[in-house]
């Protein structure tokens, strides 16, 4: 968000399902801040080291160096108080502490840009993103493409069997689904078989190219 001027802080939230471009949008905004010669710090939770230990990585392999923290409190302890822009990826893994931390940083004059899932594998609001939406000056909701029907997708469909709220994973464990195709929780066995067959077909057509 470029339109707030003056030296007040604020909170921007980028939210939506997996594969909707949250990380890409976060990186785009942080790059623009760097071009504007702002002092930037970027954080991601240590829970998420799927693609890289010390970078934010999008599903299309756009990357940016980041600091890895255990939880939101560690963001405060690692904060260089000269920092003007703070980026946080995978807010959904940071825990409820991020609500207070983001507020404190914004109150102290920093531009805080947070990206994360707004709903979980059951389609329920996923703390702390919903609370951050209420506190934010700016909200961007990104949508993915439903892999079953091609419509805009607002849900993250889990494809592995688990009742745990957090199961870290990417392609193969989750996919984007629209409201109509989404099945809260884990889809039925025949659907999982359909996904398996479709992947096998995609792999074969990839080999033929």
Residues 150-179 that bind Zn ion (CB under 5 A): 151, 178
Q: Which one among 9, 20, 88, 120 touches ligand ADP, defined by CB under 6 A?
A: 20
Residues with Cβ within 8 Å of 193's Cβ and at least 6 positions away in sequence, in order, are none
Shortest Å distance, C-beta 25 to ligand ADP: 7
Handedness of CA 124, 127, 133, 134 (dihedral sign): positive
Which is closer to ligand ADP, CB of 60 or CB of 82? Answer: 60
- Evaluate whether 122 touches 140 at the Cβ level (below 8 Å): no
Q: Which one among 9, 22, 69, 111 touches ligand ADP, defined by CB under 6 A?
A: 22
Residues 41-70 that bind ligand ADP (CB under 6 A): 58-60
Q: Which does 20 bind (CB under 5 to 8 A by kind): ligand ADP, Zn ion, none?
A: ligand ADP
Rounded to 5 degrees, what are φ and ψ at 200?
-60, -40
Spatial separation of the C-alpha atoms in residues 55 and 43, rounded to whole Å: 9
Q: Which does 73 bind (CB under 5 to 8 A by kind): ligand ADP, Zn ion, none?
A: none
Shortest Å distance, C-beta 144 to ligand ADP: 4
Q: Which of 12, 25, 74, 90 is catalytic?
A: 90
100 in active site:
no
Compute CA distances 158 → 2, 66, 155, 181, whole Å.
35, 27, 10, 12
Angle at 139 between CA 137 and CA 142, to 5 degrees: 165
State the residues that interact with ligand ADP by CB under 6 A: 16, 18-24, 58-60, 144-145, 147, 176
The residues carrying an active-site annotation are 90
């Amino acid at each position: 968000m470029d339109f707030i001027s003056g030296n007040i802080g604020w909170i921007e939230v980028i939210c939506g399902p997996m594969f909707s471009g949250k990380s890409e949008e976060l990186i785009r905004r942080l790059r623009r801040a760097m071009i504007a010669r702002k002092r930037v710090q970027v954080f991601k939770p240590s829970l998420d080291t799927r693609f890289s230990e010390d970078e934010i990585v999008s599903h299309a392999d756009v990357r940016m160096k980041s600091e890895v923290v255990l939880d939101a409190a560690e963001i405060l302890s690692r904060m260089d108080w000269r920092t003007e822009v703070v980026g946080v990826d995978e807010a959904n893994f940071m825990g409820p502490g991020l609500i207070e931390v983001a507020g404190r940083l914004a109150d102290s004059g920093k531009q805080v840009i947070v990206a994360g899932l707004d709903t979980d594998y059951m389609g329920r609001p996923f703390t702390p993103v919903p609370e951050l939406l209420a506190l934010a000056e700016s909200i961007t909701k990104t949508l993915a493409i439903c892999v079953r029907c091609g419509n805009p997708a607002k849900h993250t469909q889990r494809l592995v069997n688990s009742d745990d709220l957090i199961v870290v994973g990417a392609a193969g464990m989750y996919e984007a689904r629209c409201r109509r195709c989404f099945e809260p929780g884990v889809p039925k066995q025949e659907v999982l078989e359909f996904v398996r067959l479709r992947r096998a077909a995609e792999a074969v057509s990839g080999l033929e190219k």
